[in-house]
Structure 1
Amino acid sequence: MTEGTLGRIVSGPPDRGGHIAFARLTRTERLPLTELYRRSGLVARLLLDHGVRPGDRIGILAANGPEWVLLDLAALRIGAETAGFEPGKFTPGGLVARYGLRLLFTDRPEAAGVPGAVSTDEVAAAADGPGDGGPLPPVTWGPESVTTVKFTSGSTGEPKGLGATAGSVDSSLRAVQQIFHHGPGDDLFVFLPLSLLQQRYWVYSALLHGHDVTVSTYEAAFAALRRVRPTVVMGVPAFFETAKRQMENRLRRSGATGGQELRDAGRAVFGDRIRYLWTGSAPASPGVLRFLTEAGLPIYEGYGLNETCIVTKNHPGAHREGSVGQVLPGKEVLIGPDGVVSVRSDHPVNDHYAYAAPGDSEKMFRPGGVVRTGDLGRVDEDGFLWIQGRADDVIVLDNGKKVVVRPVEEALRADPAVAECVVFCPGQTELVAVVSPAAVPADRTAISAHLERTNARLAADERISRAVVADEPFSIGNGLLTSQYKPRRARILDAYRAAVHDPSEGIHAR
């Protein structure tokens, strides 16, 4: 696949300029992409010296940083697969055997003594050497070659592994480039874990199209944004909700109400060069999208799964508020008689899970490159996709009425006092929301008032009878959010089951 994304990357150093930056809390390291490529050759030689060969798999369990990017590029350059493991979700013990790794590269101190584990310090030392590592064996990445194993965020059980094909990577990058035209002058800011394959797309894009890319972490993101001044920020909805709160706090302190002051608050958070913001992976609040756009920060929502890559995307040439955009080239959206969205890809990510329980692959993957998403949706007359919720999250009341909970949850979440909420239906008789407060202590008065306003706008069967306020906000750390900041419904119900089922608990609707 010499003409494809990966084939072009491994065929020689980038020739269009561009830099990569690694932004931490207080400092930023910036390298020309040609220097990144040179160092990746040294790391590729390190892999070969460790016995890694084409088709072998290496694991990477580390925080975002130069070593992560160098290992990924080095593996591409010698035809090896990567498996990215997110710190906090995986621990070093047992990974080598379970996932068939030749080696596990990690920055985790607890990996000392784990068979097959190699410290990323060794990668950093190799990358500091002279030269470029010398000629490497020729590599061919065919469309169906697996380049990396990625893992689903999964709300329950062990994450499922999925081998992503080179063709799916190439197809997604080409489609995105056609609508956003990233190039010199752009700086794409990414901070979610590099174990998520889409985050690495933007490094590949920089190598191909000559723009800059900045790699940071969630913890350092807001501090780094003001220093780096990117043109594009890729983030999950929870990140942009935090940004909105920061901007509102600035306006509140200054006594301003909007207009130029709102745009100034946006520049204070994101810098003064934003071309657009990108969000996906979970439903975004319409209020957040509107707020940021009014601040001169156009934000575009999209849709995709690990199993499909990017499927739809709003963009400057085609944007409809509330939708997740039009279908990208190489993808086809199919709506079943039950309203469930399926996606057909010219270049599927894969047709099965690499690691999953028996029957899991059959539930998701269908013949002909089709994936059944489990999401409810519709496509309008102009080809925009609207996601209405999860098929599994349709509640059937004892009177037979079906309630799609996502619009109800979105309505209750549209208040500064509520960070997140999940609706349950104990006994099929009432709707009960478990609310993650935006602050501690929770503003129960504001939550109660918003509950009343929300119920007034909902149909009778959709009204929430009680709101159970969580003891602490949902987070990745307490296991109630996935790595992409989606609520883990089953775990939330387990944590608050007693309160959900006790009619005396929570804030009661009047």
Structure 2
Amino acid sequence: MNGVLPTLLGATARLEDGQRSRGREALLSGAQRLATLLRAQGTRVLATLLDNGLPWLLADLAAAEAGLVHVPLPLFFSPAQVQHALAAAGVDSLLLPPALTSRFPQLTAQALTLDGQDLALLRLPARPPALPAGTAKITFTSGTTGAPKGVCLGNEGMRRVTAGLVQALEPLAVSRHLCALPLAVLLENIAGLMAPLLRGATCIAPPLAELGLSGSSSFDAQRFDAALRQHRPGSLILLPQMLRAWVAHLQQSGRRAPEDLKLVAVGGAAVGAKLLLQARALGIPAYEGYGLSEGASVQTLNLPWADRPGSAGRALPHAELRVAPDGEIEVRGSLFLGYLGEVADASDWWPSGDLGHLDEAGFLHVSGRKKHVLITAFGRNVAPEWVETALRGEPAIGQAVVYGEGMSALCAVLWPSRLDLDNAALQAAVDAANAGLPDYARVRLWLRARAAFSPETGLATANGRPLRDAIWRAHEAALASPLTH
């Protein structure tokens, strides 16, 4: 071994995927064998299109051992997004399940077995990529358009984050982490896999369907809860919509969260103090954090001993934050190397594109995206995410998008948390949310969406983020009405 692999795994590191359990030595030897094969193939840029499990981790470790660039691709990416990522990153080898090779009929598949699991390795036409020096991983963010954007990360930045997380979370002494998000998503890859393994914890990474997650936005909270009780983790990472669905399931079933849990980190979007407190009342130790791919995943996190619900927490040991005069959050400490196809910014500080402030105790409060800020007809600046978080804090509202640029009052398109909820329930939820908002930020006009905000309806990105422009176009005529719907 070249010395890289042993530094990534603690002495007692272990991975379980529901079928197999492998300790440190088995992980190291499996990754070494795959690294040798990839070197012999002449691989320079390896993409993986894999579900959670042992092969994903072995591929990630093998890429590090062989000095390759790893491009993890989520299974929820559309075929067009996968093709874009492969071409943009100059991928020359693609590791995937045999069943997915039909997507690439022009390529010849080489069969291989990785720790008892059948896989296929496809060789793509060589396209030497123009990458920033030191690129070790490329993570693609789906953003708000159909073409994902490649973020190039170096080993040093990623290791800073993993070491910072190990240091920050050490008092919790978590020995088992459940990977509830796709490993191809950087947050789970770094904070949910590499950091626990570096500490020597056991990572549990079964296929996502076993945890109730399919695609980018379909989540079965009942199945998730059952899996959680089976695997008994001490920590996990959830998206806000997953936490919301789990809270609703526990409330309806009259159950509490398993007592083994010490930390449920919630990120990816604003959570809101109301949802966090509802979760904690049910025994879910939920704590909000904040991060961005350009900073190698997570920068801040609330913790049991340093917690302010409604904030995104304090900076973790590897990160520094400041707020520019215009309110934009800037970060440094574990920055990326640049975007694919673009010249890297030489600045030490990265403008996040998010607005917020740091309070007197150093807790970060994020109000929304800078590019989304709207100005009402009365000249009031409003971050729509702030109002949307308040709306989603009501149990009846599953999804919400707020508009109001140049309008005399804010309007919203809503999707209920349950299809059996009528408009009266939604109106009551809007009234309850408005009660906690200042007059200028209250929603005066709303309507029920024609469909859920999802990739399948064309109203969300591949990872479930609502497409504001598409939602507006689909409902513009109704929103122009002076009446509440």
* Equivalent residue letter for 2:250: M
1:192 is the counterpart of 2:192: no
Does structure 2 conserve the Cα–Cα contact (< 8 Å) formed by 1:81 and 1:148? yes
1:153 corresponds, among 115, 121, 142, to 142
* Equivalent residue letter for 2:161: S
- CA separation of 1:301 and 1:77: change in aligned 2, threshold 3 A: same
SS of alignment partner, residue 11 of structure 2:
coil
- The C-alpha deviation readout for 1:371-402, integer Å capped at 9, x for no partner, is 11121111111111111122222221222222
> TM-score, normalization: structure 2?
0.85
Listed as ranges, the matches of 1:201-216 within 5 Å are 201=190, 202-216=192-206
Aligned to 1:122: 112
In structure 1, distance between residues paired with 2:162 and 2:287: 17
1:81 corresponds, among 43, 53, 69, to 69
In structure 2, distance between residues paired with 1:195 and 1:468: 35
1:18 is the counterpart of 2:13: yes
1:273 is the counterpart of 2:276: no
- CA separation of 1:216 and 1:388: change in aligned 2, threshold 3 A: same
Unaligned runs of 5+ in 1: 129-142, 252-263
In structure 2, distance between residues paired with 1:399 and 1:206: 50
Aligned to 2:328: 340
Aligned to 1:65: 53
1:458 is the counterpart of 2:437: yes
In structure 2, distance between residues paired with 1:406 and 1:282: 9
- CA separation of 1:454 and 1:198: change in aligned 2, threshold 3 A: closer
Aligned to 2:33: 42
In structure 2, distance between residues paired with 1:279 and 1:13: 25
In structure 1, distance between residues paired with 2:10 and 2:435: 60
* Equivalent residue letter for 1:169: M
CA shift for structure 1 position 144: 6.8
- CA separation of 1:239 and 1:476: change in aligned 2, threshold 3 A: farther
In structure 1, distance between residues paired with 2:415 and 2:7: 49
RMSD: 2.8
Does structure 1 conserve the Cα–Cα contact (< 8 Å) formed by 2:399 and 2:414? yes
- The C-alpha deviation readout for 1:395-452, integer Å capped at 9, x for no partner, is 2122222223223222222221101201012652331101121112442111112223
- CA separation of 1:236 and 1:15: change in aligned 2, threshold 3 A: closer
1:315 is the counterpart of 2:303: yes
In structure 1, distance between residues paired with 2:76 and 2:317: 36
* Equivalent residue letter for 1:159: P
CA shift for structure 1 position 10: 1.7
In structure 1, distance between residues paired with 2:209 and 2:459: 18
Does structure 1 conserve the Cα–Cα contact (< 8 Å) formed by 2:368 and 2:384? yes
CA shift for structure 1 position 214: 0.9
2:96 corresponds, among 103, 106, 111, to 106
Unaligned runs of 5+ in 2: 119-131, 212-223
- The C-alpha deviation readout for 1:129-182, integer Å capped at 9, x for no partner, is xxxxxxxxxxxxxx9722100012301241110111111111111111111118
CA shift for structure 1 position 313: 1.3
CA shift for structure 1 position 471: 2.6
SS of alignment partner, residue 324 of structure 1:
coil
In structure 1, distance between residues paired with 2:439 and 2:142: 34
Aligned to 1:225: 228
> TM-score, normalization: structure 1?
0.81
- The C-alpha deviation readout for 1:168-203, integer Å capped at 9, x for no partner, is 111111111111118976111112222222322243
- CA separation of 1:13 and 1:375: change in aligned 2, threshold 3 A: closer
* Equivalent residue letter for 2:182: P
Aligned to 1:245: 248
Does structure 1 conserve the Cα–Cα contact (< 8 Å) formed by 2:134 and 2:154? yes
Percent identity between the aligned chains?
27
